[in-house]
Amino acid sequence: MIHGWVGAPGKLQNYGPRFISRRRLIRRLVDAVGPKRTLDIGCGSGLITKVLAEASAEVVAVDVSEEAIAVSRDVLGEAHNVQLKVADVFHSRDTISDWRGSFDLVVLSEVLEHIHDDEGALATVPELLGEQGWLLLTVPGDPKLWNTEDEQAGHIRRYTREELRRKLAKSGFEIVRMINWGFPITKWLYLLEVSALMRGRRRQGRGRVLRFLLPLFAAARPLFAVLADIESLISGLDRGVGYVVLARKATAKRDARDDIRKSVSSESNTTQAKPRVRLGTHYRWVLTSSLWPPNGTAPRTLDVGCHNGFWLHQQPSGCHARVGCDLTPVASYADVHYVKCDGCSLPFASGTFELCTAWDVLEHVPDDRALLQELSRVLRPGGSVRLSVPHKQIAVFPSLAMPWLYRRWQHSIRTGYMPSEIRSLAEACGFAECTVIPLETPWFRRFYLIASLVWSLWPPAGHRLVTALARKDAAAGWGPKGVLLVELRKRQQSAAV
């Protein structure tokens, strides 16, 4: 059941900083998934549905309220790829049967906190998803923030990170991204808004408060968008007002052979005019290209953890087969073949590639040895693996602040490697040669926060700044506080006697 989607605080949410931040995160994650068919459960006023319609080929939006569907119809206007229905998905077995396995993505945006049996609702979602489907979930966070607005909105609870992890795992989902958003400025504005509502409630002047805040919030929406980008830099502190979670349906066995998709396919949903490149991806490309000139003798190249394929797209013309694999590939370049798969179980024959790469991937993998063994398997004799990992002693900030950065970078499995650990892994996986270059990267570490801010707010200037930092770091020399660049070479086959 959905409450409070209109009136105060609903309209304040639609115009205010919380909605702006949440909408931008949702759009970013939906673009990463690239769904063809999306189900928006509890669509409310349709504003999030409108975002989904821009990134999905087809959207089915449902709500238990006929009035909500009517408002959504007005908001969506001429969106021809959206179907609106009045339905209670979680209490209708007929609806579940009709839609079983028919969606690539299910969205629950500010819905779960209204449901008494939230675990039962989550357990229903996998039935609606295809074999490799996704759940995108947003909920209010931090029970200590409970206030009169939660009561007005019909909330039953606010969530903690651990509660979300436990309930999603129980319902058959594997969390890929969990973002805590809204700190510090959005949180401060939120508490200010709640305080104004409470004062208005005591004075029986809620309407006056709403009339005052709505024009103010509407005028400040461009500023809120900038604040959202700034706050995303410190999302690892876990002190915000809510969570955005992207989770995939857990399956016993994933076969990526049926999920190979080429970015130029007519069914592809990623038609960005200019693909968005991550700061770290661009930095690594400039840094590695300065130290390792592009390999023109590797006609078949595999990049594990490719994201949108930017690194592969930059390879020289001698690279005829550019294959990128990722858990959530974003098909963005016509010259890259994208495969959705786990790097520890690659759907390729042995000896397929001359070059395999894994840029800042190894530290995220539970079984790093299995990943290297799989790369060795698909590599031809004499071929190379190139990868980057953070040094275990990396120091971007003082030691007390590094745990925040590890959370931001999602280094929950391991924070980095020592050169000796990489050499031991390479030997255990049977590589004939192992070259480890420990780079100090002083410029990147010194200007990381500034570069991140400029990259978010002014991309052209951010691009130039990060390029300059990477080139300076390539010339800065070796040291223990930055990153490790690694090249592994597979043993040549012995000549027949």
pLDDT in tens, 291-320: 887 655 678 999 999 988 999 998 887 788
Based on the number of CB atoms within 10 Å of its own CB, is 162 exposed (0-12), middle (13-18) or buried (19 or more)? exposed
Calculate mean pLDDT across residues 225-232: 70
One domain, residues 242 and 280: no
Q: Is 324 within a domain?
A: yes
Calculate the CA dihedral of residues 264, 266, 270, 275 and round it to 10 degrees. 30
3-36 pLDDT per residue, tens: 334 333 445 555 567 888 888 889 888 988 889 9
Q: Is 5 within a domain?
A: no
One domain, residues 234 and 264: no
Write down the pLDDT at residue 213: 59
Distance CA 15, CA 224 (A): 10
One domain, residues 159 and 273: no
pLDDT for residue 273 is more than 60: no
Instruction: Order the strands of the 58-63 sheet from edge to edge.
Output: 82-86, 58-63, 37-41, 103-109, 129-140, 242-249, 173-181
Rounded to 5 degrees, φ, ψ at 26 are: -60, -45
Query: Which of 196, 189, 224, 191 lies closest to 210 in space, CA to CA?
Result: 196
pLDDT band at 497 (very low <50, low <70, confident <90, very high): very low
Q: Is 163 within a domain?
A: yes
Write down the pLDDT at residue 274: 63
Q: Is 129 within a domain?
A: yes
Write down the pLDDT at residue 323: 95
Q: Could you give the C-alpha distances from 65 to 157, 444, 453, in angstroms and in order? A: 21, 51, 41
Q: Which token pair is 159? A: 């969530």
Single-letter code of the amino acid located at 27: R
Q: Could you give the C-alpha distances from 217 to 15, 20, 166, 183, in angstroms and in order? A: 6, 11, 36, 18
Calculate mean pLDDT across residues 479-492: 91
One domain, residues 222 and 340: no
Query: Which of 118, 141, 135, 119 lies closest to 173 in space, CA to CA?
Result: 135
One domain, residues 237 and 296: no
One domain, residues 278 and 130: no
In the three-class reduction of DSSP (H, G, I as helix; E, B as strand; rest coil), residue 138 is classed as: strand
Is the pTM of the predicted complex or chain greater than 0.75? no
pLDDT for residue 230 is more than 80: no
Residue after which a domain boundary falls, among 249, 280, 304? 249
Q: What is the CATH number of the domain that holds 283?
A: 3.40.50.150
Q: Is 297 within a domain?
A: yes
Distance CA 212, CA 215 (A): 6
Calculate mean pLDDT across residues 86-112: 90
DSSP per-residue string spanning 431-464: -SEEEEEEE--HHHHHTHHHHHHHHHH-HHHHHH
One domain, residues 85 and 233: yes
Calculate mean pLDDT across residues 80-99: 88
The answer to whether the beta carbons of residues 196 and 208 sit under 8 Å apart is no
Percent of all residues in the chain with a pLDDT value above 90, rounded to a whole number: 50
One domain, residues 189 and 325: no
Average pLDDT, whole number, for the chain?
Answer: 83
One domain, residues 202 and 340: no
pLDDT for residue 203 is more than 60: no
Q: Is 152 within a domain?
A: yes
One domain, residues 238 and 297: no
∠228-313-485 over CA atoms, to 5°? 80
In the three-class reduction of DSSP (H, G, I as helix; E, B as strand; rest coil), residue 87 is classed as: coil
Calculate mean pLDDT across residues 122-145: 93
Contacts of 338 (CB under 8 A, 6+ apart): 260, 261, 262, 263, 306, 309, 324, 325, 326, 329, 330, 331
pLDDT for residue 367 is more than 50: yes
For the chain, the farthest-separated pair of C-alpha atoms sits apart, in whole angstroms, at 96
Q: Give the least confident one: 240-244, 398-402, 485-489.
A: 398-402
Write down the pLDDT at residue 300: 92
DSSP per-residue string spanning 52-77: HHHH-SEEEEEES-HHHHHHHHHHHT
In the three-class reduction of DSSP (H, G, I as helix; E, B as strand; rest coil), residue 370 is classed as: helix
Single-letter code of the amino acid located at 459: P
One domain, residues 265 and 364: yes
Q: Is 3 within a domain?
A: no
Q: Is 4 within a domain?
A: no
Distance CA 162, CA 137 (A): 15
Q: How many CB atoms lie within 10 A of CB 23?
A: 19
Residue after which a domain boundary falls, among 249, 276, 298? 249
pLDDT band at 433 (very low <50, low <70, confident <90, very high): very high
Domain containing 154 equals 10-249
Count the domains in the chain: 2
One domain, residues 388 and 240: no
Residue after which a domain boundary falls, among 193, 218, 249? 249
Residues in a beta bridge with 356: 302, 385
